[in-house]
């Protein structure tokens, strides 16, 4: 059923016309909403860049761009750019980075940078025939994709290996060309998908023409050609460690031994309970996504891969681990991160470009270490709060500030509110009541 809010040809309209149509149909024609959405438009040149990223845009949605300084990774100090809407995230990452910078910093190692792509196809011939000609097919696949792979080969990457997977026991006649890639400093999605689509064409022709097959074998159904966002071989590990004594600081509100034990218990809980593991890993992704977005990378791909990795044993578990052995506290995070530092948004988005500049134009493996280190710091900060003061103490300060900003509180009102709520529970109503009371008091003084 079509109602009067349906439209044909919306995408063909100009940006101004699109906005006008949305305002008329979904904002009751309120010009104030149009004005506000228009106020986030950028100058023509920059806006054109943003409009080319995604379709049907009517405005820009801005998010805070913060930095976590003092991130000491493998002996080098970074100032890490972070994009997030969540209060306390950047502050927590920065505090943990500072804390570990005086305890040896973060060590990070890239385990591997391989990526995976798959051609999913159906073929009803004899599996042995396909296996017997596969070495020949493999050569043909590589040769016919060479126009696409030449540049990547020159950069030291390209197709690493192609496997034939027989999955016909799970789905009738189902096979995969399971392909390993190295995409150097680019995320490589377009490269991988282009190669795979070429593989699909080559495979069809090969089966149609190769003498090993007879007429009944010549039909192949290429179901789809697409990279896998699960990249367990594009892996990085970040870790911190120190003696238990070194863990101590006055903000812990407990001794270092007690803290270390509570911390390790919290990590073990996230290894045995998937409800807790989900929140635990969400905290890690608070940091990871913020850097991934700030550097123009694909946070959905990173999240999808990270969560699959967390469930690789069949049970969804914590991505981080903690050990206490021989008086040494060690905390690490191992996570797949398929990111790029060239191509795509990394070049086109003006702020992403500056993020990479701020990080010293890292290679993709170096950026993997920075992102993993930030995730580790985020996780450390969250668990440290949870097992000591509780998470609300820090959160509530930011929450109070947000409410005060919403109520357009003056500097004096902010000061009074912070003092008043230093030992009270914060809620929107209680803050509004306090500000109203302060304002009424002030008003009375002026009028008396």
Q: How far is CA 291 from CA 38, 159, 184, 200, 336, in A?
A: 28, 28, 20, 35, 15
182 labelled catalytic: no
Cβ neighbours for 148, distance < 8 A, ≥ 6 positions apart: 191, 194, 195, 198
Q: How far is CA 351 from CA 64, 77, 288, 294, in A?
A: 12, 21, 17, 7
- C-alpha to C-alpha distance for 430 and 432, rounded to whole angstroms: 5
399 binds ligand MEV (CB under 6 A): no
- Name the 3-class secondary structure at 389: coil
* 3-state DSSP of 294-333: HCCCCHHHHHHHHHHHHCCCCCCCCCEEEEEECCEEEEEE
Query: Of 282, 393, 424, 443, which is the active-site residue?
Result: 282
Query: Of 15, 51, 76, 86, which is the active-site residue?
Result: 86
CA geometry: angle 96, 77, 297, nearest 5 deg: 80
Q: Cβ of residue 395: shortest distance to ligand MEV, in angstroms?
A: 8
> Which listed range, 5-13, 60-68, 104-112, 381-389, lies at the site for ligand MEV (CB under 6 A)?
381-389
What mask, x for binding ligand MEV by CB under 6 A, covers residues 266 to 305?
Answer: -------------xx-xx--x-------------------
- C-alpha to C-alpha distance for 433 and 124, rounded to whole angstroms: 73
Interacting residues with ligand MEV between 86 and 105 (CB under 6 A) = 86
Q: Cβ of residue 393: shortest distance to ligand MEV, in angstroms?
A: 12
Report how far Cα 61 is from the mean position of its chain's Cα atoms. 18
Interacting residues with ligand MEV between 57 and 86 (CB under 6 A) = 86
397 labelled catalytic: no
43 labelled catalytic: no
Query: Of 298, 349, 399, 413, which is the active-site residue?
Result: 298
Closer by beta carbon to ligand MEV, 230 or else 263: 263
Closer by beta carbon to ligand MEV, 341 or else 379: 379
Q: Cβ of residue 381: shortest distance to ligand MEV, in angstroms?
A: 9
271 labelled catalytic: no
392 binds ligand MEV (CB under 6 A): no
Counting residues that bind ligand MEV (by CB under 6 A) gives 10
Q: Cβ of residue 391: shortest distance to ligand MEV, in angstroms?
A: 5
**What's the DSSP call for residue 361?**
S
Query: Of 98, 107, 237, 395, which is the active-site residue?
Result: 395
* 324 and 258 Cβ atoms separated by less than 8 Å: no
Closer by beta carbon to ligand MEV, 292 or else 383: 383
Closer by beta carbon to ligand MEV, 316 or else 420: 316
Closer by beta carbon to ligand MEV, 86 or else 233: 86
Among 71, 73, 141, 382, binds ligand MEV (CB under 6 A): 382
> Which listed range, 144-152, 236-244, 290-298, 383-391, lies at the site for ligand MEV (CB under 6 A)?
383-391
Main-chain phi, psi angles of 390, to 5 degrees? 95, 155
- C-alpha to C-alpha distance for 424 and 430, rounded to whole angstroms: 10
* 114 and 160 Cβ atoms separated by less than 8 Å: yes
- Side by side, the strands of the sheet bearing 107-113 are 107-113, 234-243, 328-336, 320-325
Q: Which residues bind ligand MEV (CB under 6 A)?
A: 86, 279-280, 282-283, 286, 382-383, 386, 391
Active site residues: 86, 282, 298, 395
């Amino acid at each position: 059923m079509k109602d009067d809010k349906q439209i044909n040809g919306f995408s063909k309209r100009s940006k101004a016309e699109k906005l006008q149509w949305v305002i008329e149909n979904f904002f009751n024609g309120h010009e104030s909403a149009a004005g506000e959405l228009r106020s986030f438009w950028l100058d023509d040149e920059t806006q054109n860049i943003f409009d080319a990223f995604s379709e049907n845009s009517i405005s820009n949605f801005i998010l805070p761009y913060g930095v976590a300084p003092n991130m000491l990774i493998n002996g080098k100090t970074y100032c890490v750019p972070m994009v997030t809407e969540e209060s306390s995230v950047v502050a927590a990452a920065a505090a943990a980075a500072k804390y570990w910078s005086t305890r040896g910093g973060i060590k990070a190692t890239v385990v591997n940078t391989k990526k995976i792509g798959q051609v999913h196809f159906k073929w009803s011939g004899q599996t042995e025939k396909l296996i017997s000609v596969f070495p020949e097919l493999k050569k043909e696949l590589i040769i016919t994709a060479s126009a696409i792979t030449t540049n990547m080969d020159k950069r030291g990457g390209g197709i690493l290996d192609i496997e034939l997977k027989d999955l016909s026991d799970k789905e009738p006649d189902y096979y995969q060309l399971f392909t390993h890639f190295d995409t150097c400093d680019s995320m490589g999605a377009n490269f991988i998908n282009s190669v795979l689509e070429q593989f699909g064409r080559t495979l069809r022709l090969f089966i149609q023409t190769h003498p090993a097959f007879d007429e009944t074998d010549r039909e192949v159904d290429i179901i789809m050609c697409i990279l896998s966002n699960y990249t367990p071989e594009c892996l990085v590990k970040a870790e911190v460690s120190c003696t238990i004594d070194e863990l101590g600081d006055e903000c812990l509100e407990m001794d270092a031994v007690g803290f270390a034990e509570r911390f390790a218990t919290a990590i073990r809980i996230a290894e045995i309970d998937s409800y807790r593991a989900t929140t635990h890993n969400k905290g890690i992704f608070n940091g990871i996504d913020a850097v991934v977005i700030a550097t123009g990378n694909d946070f959905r791909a990173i999240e999808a891969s990270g969560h699959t990795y967390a469930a690789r044993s069949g049970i969804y578990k914590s991505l981080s681990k903690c050990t206490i052995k021989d008086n040494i506290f060690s905390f690490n995070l191992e996570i797949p991160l398929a990111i790029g530092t060239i191509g795509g948004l990394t070049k086109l988005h003006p702020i992403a470009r500056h993020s990479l500049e701020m990080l010293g134009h890292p290679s993709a493996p170096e950026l993997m270490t920075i992102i993993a280190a930030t995730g580790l710091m985020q996780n450390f900060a969250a668990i440290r709060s949870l097992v000591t003061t509780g998470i609300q103490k820090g959160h509530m300060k930011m929450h109070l500030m947000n409410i005060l900003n919403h109520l357009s509180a003056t500097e004096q009102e902010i000061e009074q509110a912070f003092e008043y709520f230093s030992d009270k529970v914060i809620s929107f109503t209680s803050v509004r009541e306090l500000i109203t009371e302060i304002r009424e008091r002030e008003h009375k003084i002026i009028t008396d």
